[in-house]
Amino acid sequence: MSDSLLSRSNTLRSDSGDTLTLNMNTAMLKEWVQLPGIGEVYVQRILKYRGIYEDFTRLEELMEVKGNSQKRWEKLKIHLYIESAME
């Protein structure tokens, strides 16, 4: 792992400085809004969903959050990964 990569236990990481990726189970508002097409209102819905259902287990669960669309999903999915918040 290069110095430019953050460890998997962190919320955000960058692969070769090109693609920012985010752990859906630990990311907070300030991390989510760094992704393309994500605003604070949508992040609040994501965080509420995560609070109700606990950890995401599949990336596709984000499609269940009000306000998501196929177009938004296509932009976001390359930036997301799942790792349990308990690990």
pLDDT tens, 3-24? 333 334 445 555 555 678 999 9
Q: Chain-wide mean pLDDT for the chain?
A: 81
The domains of the chain are located at: 12-81
Architecture of domain 12-81: Orthogonal Bundle (1.10)
Which pTM value belongs to this model? 0.76
SS3 letters across the chain = CCCCCCCCCCCEEEECCCEEEEECCCCCHHHHCCCCCCCHHHHHHHHHHHHHHCCCCCHHHHHHCCCCCHHHHHHHHHHEECCCCCC
Q: In terms of Cα–Cα distance, which of 76, 70, 60, 67 is closest to 42? A: 67
